[in-house]
Structure 1
Amino acid sequence: MRVTSLVLILWPIVGSVAAGRRKYYTAPVENCNQVATIAVTILAGPLNYLGTNPKIDCQTPQPSK
Structure 2
Amino acid sequence: MRTGGIGGVIILIWLIIGAVAAGQRGYFNSSNDNCAKAGTTVVTVLAGPLNYLGVNPKVNCKVPQPSQ
TM-score normalised by the chain length of structure 1? 0.91
Computed over aligned residues only, the root mean square deviation of the Cα atoms, in angstroms, reads 1.1
Count of residue pairs brought into register by the alignment: 65
1:44 is aligned to 2:47: yes
Give the unaligned 5+ runs of structure 1. Answer: none
Q: Which runs of 4+ in 1 moved over 6 A?
A: none
**Equivalent residue, structure 1, for 2:27:** 24
Identity of aligned residues (%): 48
d(CA) in 1 for partners of 2:9, 2:65 = 42
Give the unaligned 5+ runs of structure 2. Answer: none
- Higher-Rg structure is 2
